[in-house]
Structure 1
Amino acid sequence: MTSPRLGSEHERLLKKLVLATFRRTAVPGGVVQLVGPDGPKLTVEYGGLGANDPVILGSTSKSLTAALLLQLAEEGTIDLNTPITQYLPQAGVPQDVTVVDLAHHCSGLATDATPGHMRLARGRAFRYANQNYNLLGQVIEATLGVSFSGALQQRILTPLAMADSTVENRCPETAHPAMSPRSEADCGHKRADSCGISTPTPSARQRSAERGVSATKASRAHRSFLPSPREPVGHVSIFGFPLPVRDFPAGAHSWIQAPSGATYASAADAGRFLSMLLNGGAANGQRFLSPTALHRMLHDVVPADGSPAVTGVLGESGEYGFGWIRKRFRDQWVHLHVGKVPGSTTVFVLLPALQLGFALLVNIGDFLVRQPLVERLADNIVRVLVGAPPLPIPNQWSRQVLLNATYIALLGGAAAGARALPKRTAAKLTYHALLPASLAAGVRKLSATPWPWLLRFVPEAAAVLGAGAAASGISGILALIPGSSSALKSGASSKLGTDSCRYTASRTGTHPSHNTSGEGTP
């Protein structure tokens, strides 16, 4: 199956759009690869990220997990309609939750549910939760008797020649009990030097050398993007400036694990995966998914309108299938998913009617400023491909200035409490204790993100919130200490009076202690 040839005008417009957006969003590096059923159509690289450089995918990892799950379902290894407690008796979810419910995010798990805190939400409607796909990974491990990383490597990554892709490597002692001990065979073609570090494959070295990079530099560059507790991966934003960030923990107790968001891939490898889907589930002479399974992946969906997982690219309306979000735009189906983690932002898009798809990867995870702009770029690429006018892209700094002004206002409001202390004790407690606590709790609830991850996603906002709460708390303590407020005020008045006397004396040429007229003395 072949896709229509991309016209030169489309190529020119897309290149201009992508490069201009990357510049305006000030990302350290970014790649867009447009593909058809027969392979790449267009690749645009920017900054320090090449098409063969892996980044952590974030939630676009769910698309790979879903493909593996449906492959096993076709083989009869996993029954999608079976309650997961038959595979995982201690799963921590209601007894009637099935494998399909997990894939559709209809298990009843709250968005911030973690392996150690399986919090349930009200009802069983769609509610996006990483833990759903973490559990799917455990189901796969329990049925196959190998690690999820080994299964994905052997069944998806290696057969698709995704040579620059890997899965976070967990030490045997931190693996889920359902997993068998890791071995070198679990890692496919990548050899584990130590827990979390892999050597680059010969193909990765060769491609890097072809781009004019020495083998040694290629090894260092490749290793810098692979899971390692010692080397930085990607960037986060600190008041608008990108700073390198190290890997986050993605083991068995983590909120984000390999099946839900800790798989690594390059844009070129992601393109191979998308080409396979556009080619009806087949690639390299091998069938990965039948047409029936592929149709179920993309079109067996549940309503998800208004969910934060769905809003962004092409609006707020959408439905969730097996690792893909389905939307309707210009009378055709668009299937997409967005990945957002500390260190990177990724977008996968399929347009089956056009026989086109693309992977968009940037090596920064800036949740409040750049990430919405990256989503806007994905939106605009879709618009160009279907013949719709692109939307304007605001400058990154215009958004960052507003955010920084908000931070300053928050800190200023907290610090102002030291000068404008409320007179009543109840008011003091409300302003200095309850207000910061309520603000922190509100941010935590609205974000639906566990506290450790909130610190990783928005470190600058967390720092400002913490500093503001500390400043407000300290001023509140001072306000409650008897006499501290009057002491502060009297001290200020005394200083003001002394300064006034000094000013008067300097104007008259006398000192307040030398009263030449004798008036006012005892």
Structure 2
Amino acid sequence: MKNSLDSAALNAAMEDVHRAGMPGLFAEVRDGDQVWCGAAGVADVVTGRPVTAGMRHRVGSITKTFTAAAVLQQVESGQIGLDTPIGRYLPGLVPGERGDAITVRMLINHTSGLAEYLPYAYPSLKAFPALADTGPQSLDDHRLTRFHPTELIEMGVTAPAVGTPGGTPGVYSNTNYLLLGVLLEQVTGTTAERYITRNVIERAGLRDTEFPAGPYVEGPHSQLYEAWFGMIDPPRDYSVYDMSWVGPSASLISSVADLNRFYSMLMAGEIVSPSSLAQMQRTVPVVSQEGRTIDYGLGLHPMESPGQSIFWGHGGTVWGGGALAMVRADGKRQMAVAVNLQRWNGLDSSGRPQPHPIDDALAALFRVAMYG
């Protein structure tokens, strides 16, 4: 069988990202039974230790797909109604008219109108996304802070609304997914993390995927370097970090091989039913944290180039780390990429992120990985 993966082109594209300024990155690309793994650069800028394709990594908001799948399993079993108001389940957390108006679906697809709690939990990011007025100080202050989800949810619920329930475009907000975590706990009688571990991660046979018990990434992993738009120079290592600030919205640790396996099984109807998968692929316009309007489903979003196939998946960032995992609609072609630097763009005089060579190099890598 002809190998449809161009190893030389993939290796060259990875090296280009490293040369453009990314300390280290690693990836796995699949086409049917063919698998390519690659890595470029270093996992530690001090020692020069290289990255390898099998490393474990904080994958940020890719966690949302796992959480959405867990909620849909409970929808299938009749424990949760997708279009039931969240106030019926959690009246204390989303009280009054908003609790009656915001449905479970609106939480999963970010059309609840609930604000992002992050600027309230991280005071020096108060103006986020007016980035010129922010500073990285509270990233350090909160390295080992243990947040409780209900205190974060309260910050988001009591903040000024960013839209009306069900209105579009929605606004991407981690508050929604923290509420879904508490909802899972309410209906399953166990923590969201435990439920997702048993019913999503273990069901998919993922060996390197877990919710962290503490601030450390267990096993071989890269350091994670945060530049905060040039305000942290040189970029600082945030690989040791208590992830209770995002919980079931963005705290997962995984590997590129596990991510590809998970999305492959999801698209094959092996994590949720085909009808639930169809619900996940019903999209609405949502304004992302970067201020772009994207199509967003239930914990999944599509990516396509004009005239090319549609891919489904999710991206994620944490302080210092990022990942993107995508699978073609037919489930055959896949890519998962992890990087160990975040917010590498400088800011212009009005506080908007400036283009950086890393952006173009990553876009070129994604094109090679997805379309050959």
Q: Fold match, TM over 0.5?
A: yes
Residue 101 (structure 1) aligned with residue 83 (structure 2): no
Larger Cα-atom Rg? 1
Contact 1:340 1:367 in 2 (8 A): no
Match of 2:224 among 221, 226, 234: 234
Match of 1:296 among 269, 275, 279: 279
In structure 1, what is the equivalent of residue 48 of structure 2?
none
Match of 1:368 among 345, 353, 361: 345
Letter in 1 for 2:88: Q
In structure 1, what is the equivalent of residue 296 of structure 2?
320
Q: Which structure 2 residues correspond to residues 419-498 of structure 1 after superposition, within 5 A?
A: none
Q: Which structure 2 residues correspond to residues 23-422 of structure 1 after superposition, within 5 A?
A: 23-27=19-23, 29-36=24-31, 41-46=35-40, 47-48=42-43, 49-92=51-94, 94=98, 95-112=100-117, 114-117=152-155, 118=157, 119=159, 120-123=161-164, 124-125=167-168, 126-169=170-213, 221=220, 234-237=224-227, 239-251=232-244, 254=245, 257-278=246-267, 280-282=268-270, 288-297=271-280, 299-304=281-286, 307-309=287-289, 316=292, 318-331=294-307, 332-353=309-330, 355-368=332-345, 376-384=360-368
Compared with structure 1, are the counterparts of its residues 143 and 367 closer, same or farther at alpha carbon in structure 2 (3 Å cutoff)? Answer: farther
Match of 1:7 among 4, 7, 11: 4
| Aligned-partner Cα distance in 1 for 2:355–2:203 | 32
In structure 2, what is the equivalent of residue 17 of structure 1?
13
Compared with structure 1, are the counterparts of its residues 276 and 376 closer, same or farther at alpha carbon in structure 2 (3 Å cutoff)? Answer: farther
Compared with structure 1, are the counterparts of its residues 77 and 247 closer, same or farther at alpha carbon in structure 2 (3 Å cutoff)? Answer: farther
| Aligned-partner Cα distance in 2 for 1:103–1:292 | 16
Give the C-alpha shift of residue 300 in structure 1.
1.0
SS at match of 2:10: helix
Compared with structure 1, are the counterparts of its residues 309 and 366 closer, same or farther at alpha carbon in structure 2 (3 Å cutoff)? Answer: closer
Count of paired positions: 311
| Aligned-partner Cα distance in 1 for 2:361–2:276 | 30
SS at match of 1:42: strand
Compared with structure 1, are the counterparts of its residues 111 and 368 closer, same or farther at alpha carbon in structure 2 (3 Å cutoff)? Answer: farther
Contact 1:365 1:371 in 2 (8 A): no
SS at match of 1:33: strand
Cα deviation code 1:37-90 (max 9, x no counterpart)? 65x621111222323322211111111111222222222222111111122111
Give the C-alpha shift of residue 35 in structure 1.
2.5
SS at match of 2:367: helix
Superposition CA RMSD, Å: 2.9
Percent of pairs identical after alignment?
23
| Aligned-partner Cα distance in 2 for 1:25–1:13 | 19
| Aligned-partner Cα distance in 2 for 1:290–1:266 | 25
Give the C-alpha shift of residue 239 in structure 1.
5.0
SS at match of 1:165: coil
| Aligned-partner Cα distance in 1 for 2:216–2:22 | 29
Compared with structure 1, are the counterparts of its residues 368 and 90 closer, same or farther at alpha carbon in structure 2 (3 Å cutoff)? Answer: farther
Q: Unaligned regions of 5+ residues in structure 2, if any?
A: 44-50, 119-151, 347-353
SS at match of 1:106: coil
TM-score normalised over the length of structure 2: 0.74
SS at match of 1:115: helix
Q: Unaligned regions of 5+ residues in structure 1, if any?
A: 170-194, 201-218, 226-232, 283-287, 389-522
Answer 1 or 2: which has greater helix percent. Answer: 1
SS at match of 2:250: coil
Contact 1:236 1:342 in 2 (8 A): yes
| Aligned-partner Cα distance in 2 for 1:361–1:267 | 7
Give the C-alpha shift of residue 5 in structure 1.
5.8
| Aligned-partner Cα distance in 1 for 2:272–2:247 | 21
Give the C-alpha shift of residue 330 in structure 1.
2.9
| Aligned-partner Cα distance in 2 for 1:302–1:377 | 29
Letter in 1 for 2:363: D
| Aligned-partner Cα distance in 2 for 1:78–1:5 | 46
In structure 1, what is the equivalent of residue 127 of structure 2?
none
Contact 1:345 1:371 in 2 (8 A): no
Contact 2:25 2:339 in 1 (8 A): yes
Give the C-alpha shift of residue 142 in structure 1.
0.8
| Aligned-partner Cα distance in 2 for 1:89–1:26 | 45
Letter in 2 for 1:158: E
| Aligned-partner Cα distance in 2 for 1:363–1:75 | 39
| Aligned-partner Cα distance in 2 for 1:322–1:145 | 23
SS at match of 1:66: helix
